[in-house]
């Protein structure tokens, strides 16, 4: 699995996941919407930690800096 996410992309995904977690914690979002957003937050965190997003492959995206 070749990395296809740069540090800025990873940082943005982590911030979004933290915002979703805070919204859920403070009960701003509830019900089905909350569960869907928490699932997205978990996916964002996972892809950030492994630096690979499978959805980038079909579109040919790569946010890593070129060496």
Per residue in 18-66, pLDDT tens?
999 999 999 999 999 999 999 999 999 999 999 999 999 999 999 998 7
Which pTM does this prediction carry? 0.90
What does the pLDDT read at residue 37? 98
Q: Kindly list the domain boundaries of the chain, sorted by start residue.
A: 7-54
* Residue 4 contacts residue 62 (beta carbons within 8 Å): yes
Confidence band for 67, pLDDT divided at 50, 70 and 90: low
- CA angle at 29 for the pair 26 and 34, rounded to the nearest 5°: 115
């Amino acid at each position: 699995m070749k990395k296809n996410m740069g540090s800025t992309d990873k940082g943005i995904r982590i911030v979004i996941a933290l915002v979703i977690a805070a919204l859920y914690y403070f009960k701003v979002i509830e019900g089905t919407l909350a569960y869907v957003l928490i699932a997205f937050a978990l996916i964002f965190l996972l892809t950030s930690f492994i630096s690979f997003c499978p959805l980038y492959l079909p579109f040919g995206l790569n946010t890593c800096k070129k060496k």
